[in-house]
Amino acid sequence: MTRNPIVTFENVRFCYDEVCAVSDLNFTIYEKSLTAVVGPNGGGKSTLLKLLSGLIKPDKGLINVNDSHAIAYVSQFVDFDTSFPITVLEMVLTGTLCKKVKPFCKYTRDQRERALNSIARVSLDGYEGRGINQLSGGELKRAIIARALASDADIIVLDEADGNLDVDAARELYGILEGLKSDKTILVASHHLNDILDIADSAIYVRRTATEYASSMDLKQKLGGRIIL
Amino acid sequence: MIDAILNYTFMQNALIAAVLASIVTGIIGTIAIEKRLISMSGGIAHASFGGIGFGYLAGFEPIWGGLAFAVGSSILISRLSKNTKMKSDTMTGILWSFGMALGILFISLAPGYMPDMTSYLFGDILSVSTSSIIYMLIFTIIISFVFIMLYHHLIIYLFDEEYSKARGINTRLLEWVVYIMIPVGIMVLIKIVGIILTIALMTIPVSIAKLYFKSYGRVILASIIISMVFCITGLTLSYYINIPSGVCIIVISTLIYLVLLFMRRRLQKRHHAQRVHGS
């Protein structure tokens, strides 16, 4: 099966003032695949994902994202107030909202269906009317992923989506991500090596620079159970 | 009380003012609470006193001077905290005191006797004139219209600004809208509860609504109704026992909020205990 490249990094470098977080990043991400982004703390995983999402611009090099592919970024931390009075459905619907601020913008039936469908895909059916402050950590992460799914994004970038989750909640999340790769391109940074490499198609090992592995199993074998965190 | 409402213009004005202030409370209160702008709102309310004093000195309707100072302070706090290393709290604190000092300075410089400023400081729902009702109505219509017009975009901006930015939504425009709506709303509330007590009316009805509702729209509607109940109760007490309306409204609403909060905590503890026993 021919795989279509969707994102390419060419000699990308990014520095925070004097310190370069990543340099000489060269790799390709293919369409409808799940790529694990692994590496030690401070190795540059988050920087790489922020570069890909366009949240920061490279100091050097090129990041090519094929035209018409939108990217949704799910942050490492829940960076909003969880006491905000908003239901799961309302939150997921915000992912479908038109980007242009225009008067009397309303959600269409199609947008509602997309939101409900996304909620179902992350196994949160029945939670639509719940306030987000009534969700557990794992459920909240899934709701955030549902918001990304409901948007028009083809590429979903998750920065340690499994952080702060217990083993069961993290495994449930991996199951959902595995189910999504049939129609989305997914990049996940994670410290749960065994679990994430089991479901990923390919892997990128990041330690200031990136080493690309066409198969996640290649990296798993190479690491051979070594702890890299 | 009903006879008084039917027969006296000042009572009719008071009732209309209570309704308008409640609508503003529901909209502006939720925005200020969710965007963590309560402290800034307090600063804006106090800074407006400088404009009110200037109105007395220059001989025009003080509320317009108050509005100009309030909007100016809001924009100044927003811009300085974005473009300099100064924290918005620091700027708020400075404008808070500066506005009050300017207000007293201007009033002291005005010719004749020093006017009684109690109604501006603590509110007096029974002294709301027909001309005040007109400007309150205009401000309330503007706030409600803008809010309804940009409802969904305002929600996403208030809820998750970073995500809104990442999605390419013009958060700068929404920020301007919020930083202008808040001072305009404050000018409506000042007539009812006064400069000093404005923050309480902005926060208490919304905080009570948040105890029971999980959706933003419902919190706003509930806040409007709760605020209306408080304002009309304050109006009634103010009418019968002749004390400033703002004081009545805030004392009643604070006590009710504390009781409801206590009851809610007890209920949650009981539910938790039942769950533990059940499992």
In angstroms, the CA B187 to CA B69 distance is: 11
Which residue is closest to A99 within chain B, CA to CA? B169
Q: pLDDT value at position A212?
A: 80
What confidence category does residue B88 fall into, taking pLDDT thresholds of 50, 70 and 90?
confident
Grade residue B67 by pLDDT with cuts at 50, 70 and 90: very high
In a domain, B23, yes or no: yes
| DSSP H helix total and E strand total for chain A | 7, 9
Taking CA atoms, what residue in A is nearest to B216? A85
pLDDT at position A2: 61
The pLDDT of residue A153 is above 90: no
Average pLDDT in chain B: 90
Q: Is the pLDDT of residue B279 over 60?
A: no
Q: What is the mean pLDDT of residues B88-93?
A: 87
A76-92 residue pLDDT tens: 778 788 889 999 999 99
CA-nearest residue to B161 within chain A is A80
Residue B176: pLDDT above 70? Answer: yes
Please state, rounded to an integer, the average pLDDT across all residues of chain A. Answer: 87
**What residues in B contact A53, CB-CB < 8 Å?**
166
Q: What is the pLDDT of residue A217?
A: 75
Q: ipTM for the complex?
A: 0.81
State the residue range of the domain holding B35.
13-202
- Please compute the mean of the pLDDT values over residues A171-198 and round it to a whole number: 86
Strands A34-38 and A202-207: parallel
Closest CA to A184 of A146, A153, A215: A153
Interface of A with B (CB under 8 A): 53, 55, 73, 75, 79-81, 83-87, 90-91, 94-95, 97, 99-101, 103-107, 129-131, 133-134, 147, 151
Considering only alpha carbons, which residue of chain B is nearest residue A74?
Answer: B163
Minimal CA separation from B167 to chain A, in Å = 7
Mean of the pLDDT values across residues A110-139? 92
pLDDT average, residue stretch B86-97 = 87
Which of B37, B144, B163 best probes binding to A when mutated, by most A CB atoms within 10 angstroms?
B163
Lowest mean pLDDT among A9-13, A65-69, B118-122: A65-69
DSSP class of residue A54 equals T
CB contact under 8 A, B159 and A94: yes
For B90, residues 6+ apart whose C-beta sits below 8 A from its C-beta are none
Is B213 an 8 Å CB contact of chain A?
yes
pLDDT at B6 over 80: no
Domain-located, residue B211: no
Residue B256, domain member (yes or no): no
The rounded distance, in Å, linking the Cα atoms of B264 and B253 is 16
Q: How confident is the model at residue A191 (pLDDT cuts 50, 70, 90)?
A: confident
Q: Which of B145, B152, B174, B221 to mutate to test the interface with A (most CBs of A within 10 A)?
A: B152
How big, in percent rounded to 5, are the helix, strand and coil portions of chain A? 35, 25, 40
Q: Classify residue B265: in a domain, yes or no.
A: no
pLDDT tens digits, A5-32? 899 999 999 998 888 999 999 999 999 8
Tell me, yes or no, whether B197 lies in a domain. yes
Q: Which of A55, A86, A95 sits opposite B216 (nearest CB)?
A: A86
Mutate one of A84, A97, A134, A158 to test the B interface: name it (highest B CB count within 10 A).
A84
Q: What is the pLDDT of residue B157?
A: 94
Task: Check whether A215 has a pLDDT greater than 80.
Answer: no
Question: Does residue B251 carry a pLDDT above 80?
Answer: yes
Report how many domains make up chain B: 1
Put simply, the answer to whether A101 touches B216 (Cβ < 8 Å) is no
Q: State yes or no: pLDDT of A1 exceeds 60.
A: no
| B34 within a domain of the structure (yes/no) | yes
Separation CA B200–CA B124 (nearest Å): 16
Domain annotation for chain A: domains and CATH numbers? 1-69+154-229 (3.40.50.300), 81-152 (no CATH)
Across residues A168-177, what is the average pLDDT? 83
Cα separation, B256 vs B233, in Å, equals: 12
Tokens at B6, concatenated: 């039917």
CB contact under 8 A, A103 and B149: yes
Contact B166 A53 (CB under 8 A): yes
**With contact defined as beta carbons under 8 Å apart, do A195 and A225 qualify?**
no
Q: Which residue of A has its CA nearest to B152?
A: A105
pLDDT at residue B144, rounded to an integer: 97
Q: With H, G, I as helix, E, B as strand and everything else as coil, classify residue B174.
A: helix
Confidence of residue B272 (pLDDT cuts 50, 70, 90): confident
Which helix (H) or strand (E) covers residue B28, if one does?
A: helix B9-34
pLDDT tens figures, B124-154: 888 888 999 999 999 999 999 999 999 999 9
Q: Is residue B236 part of a domain?
A: no
Closest Cα in chain A to B156: A94
Asked if A104 and B149 come within 8 Å (Cβ–Cβ), the reply is yes
Q: What is the CB neighbour count within 10 angstroms for residue A23?
A: 18
> With contacts defined as CB-CB under 8 Å, which chain A residues touch B166?
53, 55, 73
Lowest mean pLDDT among A9-18, A44-53, B183-192, B270-279: B270-279
Q: CA–CA distance from B277 to each of B267, B271, B272, B274 (Å)?
A: 15, 10, 9, 5
Q: Look up the CATH number of the domain holding residue B148.
A: 1.10.3470.10
Q: What percent of chain A has pLDDT over 90?
A: 42
- Of the residues B154, B164, B167, the best mutation for testing chain A's interface (the one with the most A CB atoms within 10 Å of its CB) is B167
List pLDDT tens digits, range B193-227. 888 888 999 999 999 999 999 899 999 999 999 99
Contacts of A127 in chain B (CB under 8 A): none
Q: Give the whole-angstrom CA distance, residue A60 versus residue A55.
A: 15
Domain presence at residue B270:
no
